[in-house]
Amino acid sequence: MRKILTYIALASLLTLVSCDAWLDVKPYDKMSQDELFSTEAGFIKSLNGIYIELNSDMLYGGALSVEMVEIMGGAYVIGTDNSVWGNYADLAEYEYGTDYWRARLNETWNKAYSLILNCNLLLEALENTAVKFSGDNYKVIKGEALALRAMLHFDMLRLFGPVYSRNPQQDAIPYYKKYSVVPNGILPASEVAAEITHDLQEARILLANDPVRMSGTMTSAPSDGSSTFMYYRNLRLNYYAVTALLARSGLYFGDREAAYRYSTEVIDASDKGIFPFVDKSLVTGSPDDPDRIFSSEVIFALTHSQRNTLFKDYFDPSRIPNYVFRMDNDLMSGIVFGGGAMTGGNQDDYRYRVNWVATGANRYFYKYSDMVDSGNIRNTMIPMLRLGEMYLIAAESRSEDIGAGVAYVNRLRANRGVGNIQTLTRDILQYEYIRELYGEGQLFYMYKRMYTPVLFSPVASRNPQPSDAVFVIPLPTSETDN
């Protein structure tokens, strides 16, 4: 049977820009399975097509980065005027059952699982192929595909599954390990967690010889014009990105020892120069063109040639009187990046100085605005995993006594231009997560994992405290019907 891989056609949307040339995907209208998987280059094209589709606005090009899940995480002030805010007012009240949000959540679920099935199609073809691969390419392709499958399942579990710390045995989501159009049964969250961990651990073994371990991220094309597949390693699920995912998932699943071990391995790699802290001069020393995403610290990012649309569509103050996402200015300046010892906030923080630009009485979020040097690959990056999160995971998982992790937080703060805190509390740690990961789709999952109130949520009268009504999104009807 010759299946048609229609998602490859969508790759053409992003491959005509030079900064995406590393993906090496051509604008095919369609390609048969037999043709695609007949060469090593075909396997690479298939894998790259999956990476490209992660940029869909149903996934990390919108809903799971700056938009839907950030609203759920209380990141933005959402007004009540429906003529301005439309359906966002319902989401800010955790009204997941409206026709609009049921449809949107269905889209995110269906897109994630379609890419999971494409991962499985690739993995099955790898197992049955007679193609001879050069070097470690077979292991790298398989390792990245397994990691992609695990990452997508993990985010569907975090989004739709139960509060893991309270109900790990509750039914959650299906886990697909084979290509199939027949629906799989829904598994308890703990079984899904075991499958995610297994896939990531296997991927990590396969990626043991990833060039990122010896040569770093290699964010430039080879001078001899050869394949770029083993380059731009921070734009792929490289060995350290998989390790970072094991740290993130370990913390979520309550395995503090694993979270600490994996997060500190990434920190050790940073100390050796693989993911170094950003040079201050590239942030505050170049005000016309700051490196707002701290690109040297990004362990894994998507590359999106039109990333500036995230800023234009959601954050640009010139959109007023249409909706514009922003944090309440008093809360941001006075508490998150102020507040002194109570929150650890400080307005000298690099994250405040370069990412929040004043317009009138308010400040607006500029992390994803275009750089002056718009052709720079940093201008295309949507961060998925970063070094700062590893420091916060290490701090949180160091000991049952959260205060024991203060040294990790202070080292991160030193590289954000602010002084030490004397005592680390859960509240201060949450503020650090907000400062470090704002606009990257991680805050809702933090609150769900910790089972604490969503800070600064606009919810005033409905579900202000942690509850399943806030944190557990009903499975899509497309799944429950099946």
Q: What does each of the 482 residues of the chain score in pLDDT, given as a tens digit?
A: 333 333 333 333 233 233 344 344 444 444 678 888 999 999 999 999 999 999 999 999 999 999 999 999 999 999 888 899 999 999 999 999 999 999 999 999 999 999 999 999 999 999 999 999 999 999 999 999 999 999 999 999 999 999 999 999 999 999 999 998 888 899 999 999 999 999 999 999 999 999 999 988 887 777 776 778 888 899 999 999 999 999 999 999 999 999 999 999 999 999 999 999 999 999 988 778 899 999 999 999 999 989 999 999 999 999 999 999 999 888 898 889 998 889 999 999 999 999 999 988 889 999 999 998 888 889 999 999 999 999 999 999 999 999 999 999 999 999 999 999 999 999 999 999 999 999 999 999 999 999 999 986 555 455 468 999 999 999 998 777 76
Rounded Cα distance, 123 and 113, in Å: 15
Compute CA distances 137 → 61, 109, 114, 230, whole Å: 28, 30, 24, 8
Residues present in the chain in total: 482
**Is CATH 2.60.260.20 the right assignment for the domain spanning 7-481?**
no
Distance, first Cα to last Cα, the chain: 25
Residue identified by tokens 């505050």 is 284
φ/ψ (deg, to 5) at 286: -130, 70
Count other C-beta atoms under 10 Å from residue 466's C-beta. Answer: 17
* Residue 16 burial class via C-beta count within 10 angstroms: exposed 0-12, middle 13-18, buried 19 and up: exposed
pLDDT of residue 224: 73
Strands 298-303 and 381-386, sheet pairing: antiparallel
Report residue 109 as tokens: 């679920």
Compute CA distances 249 → 135, 157, 197, 289, 409, whole Å: 30, 11, 8, 34, 20
Rounded Cα distance, 386 and 475, in Å: 29
Report residue 364 as tokens: 């607006």
pLDDT of residue 479: 77
Report residue 475 as tokens: 């499975």
Residue identified by tokens 């009485």 is 361
Q: 349-387 in b/e burial notation, b at 16+ Cβ within 10 A?
A: bbbbbbbbeeeeebbbbbbbbebeeeeebbbbbbbbbbb
Torsional sign, CA 355, 155, 101, 458: negative
In the beta sheet, which residues pair with residue 32? 4
